[in-house]
Chain A
Amino acid sequence: MSTIALHDEHTHDHADHGHHKETLISKYIFSMDHKMIGKQFLITGIIMAVIAMGLSILFRIQLAWPETNFPFLETFLGKWAEGGRIKPDFYLALVTIHGTIMVFFVLTAGLSGTFSNLLIPLQIGARDMASPFLNMLSYWFFFMACVIMMSSFFIQTGPASGGWTVYPPLSIVAKAMPGSGLGMTLWLVSMVLFVASSLMGGINYVSTILNMRTKGMDLWKMPLTIWAFFLTAILGILSFPVLVAGVVLMVFDRSVGTSFYLSDIVIGTDILPNEGGSPILWQHLFWFLGHPEVYIVIMPALGISSEVISVNSRKPIFGYHAMVYSLIGITVLSFIVWGHHMFVTGMNPLLGGVFMITTLIIAVPSAVKTFNYLATLWRGNIRFTPAMLFAIGLVSFFISGGLTGLFLGNASLDINLHDTYFVVAHFHLVMGSAAIFGMLAGVYHWFPRMFGKMMNAKLGYLHFWLTFIAAYLVFFPLHFLGLDGVPRRYYAFTEFEFMKKWLTVNVFVTWAAIMAALAQVAFLFNFFYSIFKGKVAPQNPWEANTLEWTAPVEHIHGNWPGEIPTVYRWPYDYSKPGHDVDFIPQTVPFSETMSSNLPHDFEGNEVAERIQQDWEKANPVTENKG
């Protein structure tokens, strides 16, 4: 097999902590244990998500009641909300930082960082990551990035406010808006640290998956979660450096006086000396990362939901190979679709046609994945655990948001929909809500693995139903604003006669958003309460097949005491006919399941096939084997 047998050398050292004593600092802060790092990513991600959600509530309040004063806003925000009303510049800062935090800090680091770190070693059967030290650095770079990003709320001119895409010249020319001063500098510094963190993580994930799989774990026996994390990491490694390149050029333009992105600019009557650059260059560099980025966000969520849906339907995932190939297809195609963000930016229209073709092709693997999820549910025996509820929610959002992608990916339709609320609705469903639901499904599903405790299921139910309904109430009506030609990032709808009819919708949407935000309290309470007071988790609470559930509940450095288990079969043998229980863990050899083996299980191994035939002759079948 392709596995390199590195694992067993340190077994006993790790297992009994013999070689060094763990202190509080080495265990909880500068930890090099992948499980602890995963938890660090998760809790930091949750905190950032709460902050970003809070920001969104602030600007939703402004949108719903543009002409009302809220004294408490002034209490919290001071001069940015003088008289209790958010100022236009600060409104844009809120929108910008909400987007940045959600996309990068929550759905990239919080999602990939958490679950790749937690699950890769546990599901492929490794003691830890390939480079635990790099892994630790990855978290601390991420942490610094978060701190620096948040610090921009404490400076005079406020945070970056040119939108999360920070298009120049708006983001470069400090005179264009206050947020383009120090706030933007902090944004760029934070982003460089963040990309460094992502790269360290990504390189680690890829090398761990390629080199450190346990005996028997060939690539086609890996759970779909691992496939998703693997391809996500590759996407990140190939695309994030391009963002850094773009960011460095932007730093030069801002601080050294170069003109990579600037040309022919007059602010008022002040003529800037820059000549020869092009703002479109930034858009190309940004979206070369930016589009793969949305798949970096959604693919881990899809991987998690594949696993959760299969486990809780008590059925093998339908079309395992097709699922992997569609992930690979998405990975490859996602590099050649970035131009669909730029149909109307003045990019050569010829390119618009090309990018439209590649963009609509990427809908095919996405459709295959959706149908496979449906086929997995079909004739299943579905247990509605909180994780399963969120995974079903993800499929629903993925469909609803994915279909509107067919409008936006079509260059001709995009002319009128570009930069309107239709776009807002589209991506909040397909990558926002879907990815958040994937993340929540993961948290509910692997919480027992992370903390050795169970979360309260009923609070989970409440959390799911409130969030699921509220998310649709928030985002579904926004499509119609977009179809009526209401642009996004508008501070107030008061200046246009035709937008006034949407004010009531805005009020409704804001209340739904507040409901969604408050529903998260159920989650936060459940999460933190269960860490300390939850019921102790059994070894394998969901009766799942994957390797992580064979490791002891009590965390040990090195994951398994003694030898790492060997893998004999794929991870999706649920409800296999002929077997007495409805799951067969990957560690169970075929010799122990003679009554349920199927011809294709042996992958052409003639000896094994003969043994099976002999056994079947000796034990004539009494019931239908399906």
Chain B
Amino acid sequence: MGCDVVTVSTDTQFVHLAWQRSEKELAQVRYPMGADPTGKVARLFGVYDEATGLALRGTFIINPQGVLINSEVSYYNLGRNIDELVRKFKANLYMSKKTNEVCPSKWKDEGDKTLTPSAAMVGRVHEALGS
């Protein structure tokens, strides 16, 4: 899709290997599984839970210049919606090419309605969205 996904937990690479081999849900996994046993990277992104030594469910998009442009953090008990992650990535990719446009909440893919902020749109977002 034009990006590299890396999963990260505070488990070691040895545990990643064992888990990927034993869990049938992971049989098709192709992404690298990062090991952060010291929590250094999780701390950098603010998702390290000092009380448990575990990383919270954080998702971060970093652009090709190395800038953090999207973040989402959920607590232990809520799984993430991958469709929303894909939407956010596609939107950021699109906006990196069309830098004067912005993607509203209902934007899903190229061709969907975008907005181009300007003085004319102030107080007229409803009309600009055509809704």
Q: Does chain A bind chain B?
A: no
